[in-house]
Amino acid sequence: MADMFGNGHIGYKNDVLNKVAEIKQDYRNQLGNLVRNSPTAAVASFFGEKYIPLGAAIGGLSMSLSSLKEQPAFFGPKIEIETEETATITRVQTEHILSRRIDVNESGEVKIVGKTKLYITIDDANHVEYYYNKKGGSEGGASIISFQVKKEVADDIRKMAVPQLQAKSYPDRPEISDPTKSGSAYGLPANYIEKLQKGAIKGTGKIEKP
Protein backbone atom coordinates (compact mmCIF):
# COMPACT_ATOMS: atom_id res chain seq x y z
CA MET A 1 0.00 0.00 0.00
CA ALA A 2 1.44 3.44 -0.95
CA ASP A 3 0.71 7.07 -0.10
CA MET A 4 0.22 9.94 -2.53
CA PHE A 5 3.99 10.28 -2.94
CA GLY A 6 4.45 6.66 -3.84
CA ASN A 7 6.10 5.74 -0.56
CA GLY A 8 5.14 2.47 1.05
CA HIS A 9 3.88 3.25 4.55
CA ILE A 10 5.38 0.16 6.08
CA GLY A 11 8.84 0.57 4.57
CA TYR A 12 9.02 4.33 5.11
CA LYS A 13 7.79 4.13 8.67
CA ASN A 14 10.28 1.40 9.58
CA ASP A 15 13.19 3.41 8.20
CA VAL A 16 12.21 6.42 10.31
CA LEU A 17 11.77 4.38 13.48
CA ASN A 18 15.10 2.63 12.99
CA LYS A 19 16.84 5.98 12.53
CA VAL A 20 15.22 7.39 15.65
CA ALA A 21 16.28 4.31 17.64
CA GLU A 22 19.86 4.70 16.37
CA ILE A 23 19.99 8.36 17.41
CA LYS A 24 18.60 7.54 20.86
CA GLN A 25 21.15 4.80 21.41
CA ASP A 26 23.99 7.09 20.35
CA TYR A 27 22.74 9.72 22.78
CA ARG A 28 22.60 7.18 25.60
CA ASN A 29 26.17 6.09 24.88
CA GLN A 30 27.44 9.68 24.91
CA LEU A 31 25.57 10.48 28.12
CA GLY A 32 26.91 7.32 29.77
CA ASN A 33 30.48 8.33 28.93
CA LEU A 34 29.82 11.82 30.24
CA VAL A 35 28.47 10.51 33.54
CA ARG A 36 31.50 8.30 34.04
CA ASN A 37 34.00 11.07 33.26
CA SER A 38 32.27 14.09 34.79
CA PRO A 39 28.99 13.65 36.70
CA THR A 40 28.48 17.41 37.07
CA ALA A 41 28.84 18.02 33.35
CA ALA A 42 26.31 15.27 32.68
CA VAL A 43 23.75 17.01 34.87
CA ALA A 44 24.44 20.31 33.15
CA SER A 45 23.87 18.71 29.74
CA PHE A 46 20.20 18.24 30.58
CA PHE A 47 19.79 22.03 30.58
CA GLY A 48 21.17 22.57 27.10
CA GLU A 49 24.44 22.64 25.20
CA LYS A 50 25.39 26.15 26.28
CA TYR A 51 25.71 24.97 29.90
CA ILE A 52 27.98 22.00 29.20
CA PRO A 53 31.25 24.04 29.35
CA LEU A 54 30.22 25.36 32.79
CA GLY A 55 29.29 21.87 33.95
CA ALA A 56 32.60 20.48 32.71
CA ALA A 57 34.51 23.23 34.52
CA ILE A 58 32.71 22.46 37.77
CA GLY A 59 33.21 18.78 37.20
CA GLY A 60 36.95 19.32 36.89
CA LEU A 61 36.99 20.81 40.38
CA SER A 62 34.88 18.06 41.96
CA MET A 63 35.85 14.47 42.69
CA SER A 64 35.18 11.71 40.23
CA LEU A 65 32.96 8.81 41.25
CA SER A 66 35.98 6.62 41.90
CA SER A 67 37.55 9.14 44.30
CA LEU A 68 34.28 9.43 46.19
CA LYS A 69 34.52 5.74 46.96
CA GLU A 70 37.96 6.31 48.48
CA GLN A 71 36.79 9.26 50.59
CA PRO A 72 33.04 8.73 51.14
CA ALA A 73 32.65 11.14 54.04
CA PHE A 74 34.61 14.13 52.74
CA PHE A 75 33.95 16.41 49.78
CA GLY A 76 36.94 18.57 48.95
CA PRO A 77 40.74 18.47 48.92
CA LYS A 78 42.53 16.30 51.48
CA ILE A 79 44.04 18.40 54.25
CA GLU A 80 47.09 17.34 56.22
CA ILE A 81 46.88 18.47 59.85
CA GLU A 82 50.14 18.93 61.64
CA THR A 83 50.22 17.65 65.21
CA GLU A 84 52.36 19.53 67.71
CA GLU A 85 54.91 17.55 69.72
CA THR A 86 54.36 17.69 73.46
CA ALA A 87 55.92 16.52 76.72
CA THR A 88 54.22 15.40 79.94
CA ILE A 89 54.78 17.50 83.04
CA THR A 90 54.01 15.72 86.32
CA ARG A 91 54.03 16.79 89.95
CA VAL A 92 53.19 14.82 93.09
CA GLN A 93 51.28 16.94 95.59
CA THR A 94 50.02 16.36 99.11
CA GLU A 95 47.16 18.02 100.98
CA HIS A 96 49.59 20.46 102.61
CA ILE A 97 48.83 23.98 101.42
CA LEU A 98 52.46 24.65 100.44
CA SER A 99 52.51 21.51 98.29
CA ARG A 100 49.41 22.40 96.29
CA ARG A 101 51.12 24.52 93.65
CA ILE A 102 49.25 23.34 90.55
CA ASP A 103 45.47 23.54 90.28
CA VAL A 104 43.42 21.77 87.60
CA ASN A 105 39.77 22.61 86.99
CA GLU A 106 37.00 20.42 85.53
CA SER A 107 37.91 21.50 81.99
CA GLY A 108 41.52 20.40 82.39
CA GLU A 109 42.82 23.95 82.55
CA VAL A 110 46.04 24.34 84.53
CA LYS A 111 46.93 27.17 86.90
CA ILE A 112 50.29 27.35 88.67
CA VAL A 113 50.35 29.34 91.89
CA GLY A 114 53.28 30.82 93.81
CA LYS A 115 56.72 31.94 92.68
CA THR A 116 58.98 29.85 94.88
CA LYS A 117 60.86 26.97 93.27
CA LEU A 118 58.48 24.45 91.71
CA TYR A 119 59.58 20.81 91.52
CA ILE A 120 58.28 18.83 88.55
CA THR A 121 59.15 15.78 86.47
CA ILE A 122 59.25 15.57 82.66
CA ASP A 123 58.27 12.32 80.93
CA ASP A 124 59.37 10.05 83.77
CA ALA A 125 56.53 7.83 85.03
CA ASN A 126 58.87 5.71 87.18
CA HIS A 127 60.05 8.67 89.22
CA VAL A 128 56.49 9.87 89.66
CA GLU A 129 55.44 6.47 91.02
CA TYR A 130 58.46 6.40 93.34
CA TYR A 131 57.78 9.87 94.76
CA TYR A 132 54.03 9.24 95.01
CA ASN A 133 54.64 6.18 97.17
CA LYS A 134 57.26 8.08 99.19
CA LYS A 135 54.58 10.64 100.04
CA GLY A 136 52.23 7.92 101.26
CA GLY A 137 50.14 7.44 98.13
CA SER A 138 46.39 8.07 98.26
CA GLU A 139 46.25 7.04 101.93
CA GLY A 140 48.73 9.79 102.72
CA GLY A 141 46.64 12.32 100.78
CA ALA A 142 49.01 12.43 97.80
CA SER A 143 47.84 12.97 94.24
CA ILE A 144 49.50 13.11 90.85
CA ILE A 145 49.01 16.22 88.74
CA SER A 146 49.90 16.00 85.06
CA PHE A 147 49.49 18.09 81.93
CA GLN A 148 51.01 18.51 78.47
CA VAL A 149 53.32 21.31 77.38
CA LYS A 150 54.87 22.22 74.08
CA LYS A 151 58.00 20.14 73.54
CA GLU A 152 60.11 23.25 73.08
CA VAL A 153 59.38 24.28 76.67
CA ALA A 154 60.52 20.91 78.03
CA ASP A 155 63.61 20.99 75.80
CA ASP A 156 64.54 24.42 77.12
CA ILE A 157 64.28 23.23 80.73
CA ARG A 158 66.52 20.24 80.04
CA LYS A 159 69.05 22.29 78.11
CA MET A 160 69.38 25.09 80.67
CA ALA A 161 69.27 22.99 83.86
CA VAL A 162 72.26 23.13 86.20
CA PRO A 163 73.34 20.78 89.03
CA GLN A 164 72.05 21.53 92.54
CA LEU A 165 75.49 22.69 93.69
CA GLN A 166 75.46 25.43 91.03
CA ALA A 167 71.83 26.48 91.53
CA LYS A 168 72.71 29.45 93.75
CA SER A 169 75.12 30.76 91.12
CA TYR A 170 72.42 30.55 88.43
CA PRO A 171 69.16 31.54 90.15
CA ASP A 172 67.28 32.04 86.89
CA ARG A 173 68.01 28.58 85.53
CA PRO A 174 66.30 25.24 86.26
CA GLU A 175 67.89 23.03 88.90
CA ILE A 176 68.51 19.31 88.36
CA SER A 177 66.62 17.61 91.18
CA ASP A 178 66.88 14.12 92.68
CA PRO A 179 69.52 13.01 90.11
CA THR A 180 69.99 9.59 91.73
CA LYS A 181 66.34 8.70 91.14
CA SER A 182 65.58 10.48 87.88
CA GLY A 183 67.21 12.10 84.90
CA SER A 184 64.20 14.34 84.31
CA ALA A 185 63.31 15.91 87.66
CA TYR A 186 63.78 19.67 87.97
CA GLY A 187 63.24 22.60 90.29
CA LEU A 188 61.97 25.63 88.36
CA PRO A 189 62.60 29.29 89.34
CA ALA A 190 59.92 31.95 88.85
CA ASN A 191 60.85 32.81 85.25
CA TYR A 192 60.56 29.16 84.21
CA ILE A 193 57.31 28.72 86.10
CA GLU A 194 55.95 31.47 83.86
CA LYS A 195 57.24 29.68 80.76
CA LEU A 196 55.64 26.45 81.96
CA GLN A 197 52.30 28.15 82.48
CA LYS A 198 52.35 29.75 79.04
CA GLY A 199 53.41 26.50 77.38
CA ALA A 200 50.67 24.38 79.00
CA ILE A 201 48.29 22.81 76.46
CA LYS A 202 44.72 23.77 77.27
CA GLY A 203 42.46 21.02 78.52
CA THR A 204 45.22 18.47 79.21
CA GLY A 205 45.39 18.80 83.00
CA LYS A 206 44.60 15.73 85.11
CA ILE A 207 44.46 14.86 88.81
CA GLU A 208 45.07 11.19 89.63
CA LYS A 209 45.02 9.23 92.85
CA PRO A 210 46.09 5.69 91.90
Residues 184-193 pLDDT 10s = 999 999 999 9
180 plus 96 within the same structural domain = yes
User: Do 165 and 122 lie in a common domain?
Assistant: yes
161 and 199 share one domain:
yes
Q: Is residue 108 located within the same domain as residue 201?
A: yes
Q: Are both 90 and 149 inside the same structural domain?
A: yes
Are the C-beta atoms of 94 and 140 separated by less than 8 Å? yes
Residues 47 and 119 in one domain: no
Domain identity same for 188 and 123? yes
Report if residue 97 sits inside a domain: yes
Compute CA distances 33 → 4, 48, 95, 182, whole Å. Answer: 44, 17, 75, 69
Is residue 120 in some structural domain? yes
Whether 75 is in a domain gets the answer no
Residues 140 and 187 in one domain: yes
Highest mean pLDDT among 14-18, 23-27, 147-151: 147-151
Provide the residue range defining the domain that includes 191.
Answer: 86-208
Q: Could you give the number of structural domains in the chain?
A: 2
C-alpha distances (whole Å) from 207 to each of 7, 23, 48, 142, 199 are: 98, 76, 66, 10, 19
Q: Do the bridges between strand 185-188 and strand 110-112 make them parallel or antiparallel, or are there none, so unpaired? A: unpaired
Q: Do 17 and 91 share a domain, yes or no?
A: no
The domain boundary, picked from 29, 44, 70, lies at 70
In terms of pTM, does the model score above 0.75?
A: no
- The answer to whether residues 40 and 118 belong to one domain is no
- Same domain as 13, residue 37: yes
Q: Is residue 2 assigned to a domain?
A: no
In a domain, 187, yes or no: yes
User: Does some domain include residue 25?
Assistant: yes
User: Do 200 and 102 fall into the same domain?
Assistant: yes
| pLDDT over 70, % of the chain | 62
Residue 1 counted as domain residue = no
| pLDDT at position 151 | 95
Does 154 map to a domain? yes
Condensed to tens digits (0 to 9), the pLDDT of residues 44-56 reads: 454 454 444 444 4
